[in-house]
Amino acid sequence: DSVFAHVVQAPEDPILGVTVAYLKDPSPIKLNLGVGAYRTEEGKPVVLNAVRKAEHQLVNDVSRVKEYLPIVGIAEFNKLSAKLILGADSPAIQQNRVTTVQCLSGTGSLRVGGEFLARHYHERSIYIPQPTWGNHIKVFALSGLTVKTYRYYDPATRGLNFQGLLEDLGSAPSGAIVLLHACAHNPTGVDPTLEQWEQIRQLIRSKALLPFFDSAYQGFASGSLDADAQPIRTFAADGGELLVAQSYAKNMGLYGERVGALSIVCKTADVAVRVESQLKLVIRPMYSNPPIHGASIVATILRDRNLYDEWTVELKAMADRIISMRQQLFDALQARGTPGDWSHIIKQIGMFTFTGLNAEQVAFMTGEYHIYMTSDGRISMAGLSTKTVPHLADAIHAAVT
Ligand code: PLP
């Protein structure tokens, strides 16, 4: 008998499992709105032109070798990533108070940051929004932190529960870590306004809480890299400390290249050097050092004016297509006279709409219309096209009437 005979079958990942179910469905009208990846109008994945050109340059450069990178990755990639998120004129960068390490996309950056905090920070509690990206809970718990939640979403308004958020962070223990989605909150699509961000910042600083930003969608939400980074930049501008996990999965379409960065903004340059030395001790036994290819693509694009400009145009086009899908879906429901207020579809931001549909309605839409999404009613607007909007609108209409 196998020594593993006692191993029980694990459940599918609640998000990635949606695609597994979708792939098994033979229906020609099936629609996958579970996946958090951009699709074209034709429903196809896309490689950006800026990425193709950068890869071309890399392949043709015969001086490039496949040696191991340093534990912290490509130095230039790290510098350019910090600039991208904190701003080219960031005082913290100029004062050498930021340490940045290349990590395995957003997830790996969160995990390295979580483990560093578990080893070297005095407070174990990390407060994550309710709800949040499901993986946050597991990433931080396995990092050795104690995961708690703060109120975030109000189902009644399908908007922000700002009062609840302030109350919960206000009663968190001094020093607690607070996970904040930098923009395009997943799964709700609900972000604080800049005025609300300012109140959150004041509360966090007055209670000496430690902000940890998850930036998985910079530029993907509004179409502007600067606008989407604004909340983080106002936190950095007050001179206080913070962490930020960056992902290039969505905004450069580099999903499977697993390229991201963890930056820790410290009070002094001296602290930043010591923090980096400890980040290396977290990384070395975990995966030794990061892969070359994705970070080389990113560095090639970020250092080159023309490629950078081409990227920002392509990024804006992706964001705009998603925004236009919101309008089309909203209009289609209006046209059908679907009961209820659906204005949250156009008010929410980023890749996802938190429809408000319940698990039963989702199951109905999957069963009767072959539409796949997570059971919390989250749909990926990026998986939608002008052609498929009517089918989705029909399904939603049938599910709620
Ligand atoms: N954080 C949030 C909020 C996300 O939605 C995602 C991806 O869906 C990630 C982090 C991490 O993605 P990746 O590890 O592919 O960069």
- Asked whether 378 lines ligand 1 (CB < 6 A), one says no
Q: How confident is the model over 252-263, as pLDDT tens digits? A: 999 999 999 999
**What is the rounded radius of gyration, in angstroms, for the C-alpha atoms of the chain?**
21
Please confirm, yes or no, whether 133 is among the known catalytic residues: yes
pTM above 0.90, yes or no: yes
Catalytic member of 133, 168, 191, 311:
133
Instruction: Report whether pLDDT(16) > 90.
Output: no
User: What pLDDT, on the 0 to 100 scale, is given for residue 14?
Assistant: 79
For residue 58, pLDDT over 90 is answered with yes
Torsional class of 96: left (φ above 0), alpha (ψ -120 to 50), beta (otherwise): left
**Contact by Cβ (8 Å): 307, 301:** yes
CB of 81 sitting under 6 A from ligand 1 = no
Query: For residue 181, is pLDDT > 90?
Result: yes
Q: What are 356's two structure tokens?
A: 């408000």
Give the Cα separation of 330 and 333 in Å (integer): 5
Q: Judging by beta carbons within 10 Å of its beta carbon (0-12, 13-18, 19+), is residue 193 exposed, middle or buried?
A: exposed
User: Which amino acid residue places its CA nearest to atom 4 of ligand 1?
Assistant: 216
106 lines ligand 1 (CB under 6 A): yes
Residue 370 has pLDDT above 90, yes or no: yes
319 Cβ neighbours under 8 A, 6+ residues apart: 219, 220, 221, 222, 223
Whether the CB-CB separation of 212 and 245 falls below 8 Å is answered with yes
Q: Measured from the CB, is residue 105 less than 6 Å from ligand 1?
A: yes
- Alpha-carbon dihedral sign for residues 11, 14, 20, 24: positive
- Kindly give the pairing relationship between strand 159-160 and strand 153-154: antiparallel
256's CB contacts (< 8 A; 6+ apart) are: none
- Atom 13, ligand 1: residue with shortest CA distance: 106
Q: Quick one: pLDDT band at residue 36, thresholds 50, 70, 90?
A: confident
Mean pLDDT, residues 57-80: 97
Cα 1 to ligand 1 centre (Å): 40
Average the pLDDT over 121-135 and give the result: 96
Note if 214 is an active site residue: yes
Q: Is the pLDDT of residue 5 over 90?
A: yes
* CA 62 – ligand 1 centroid, Å: 33
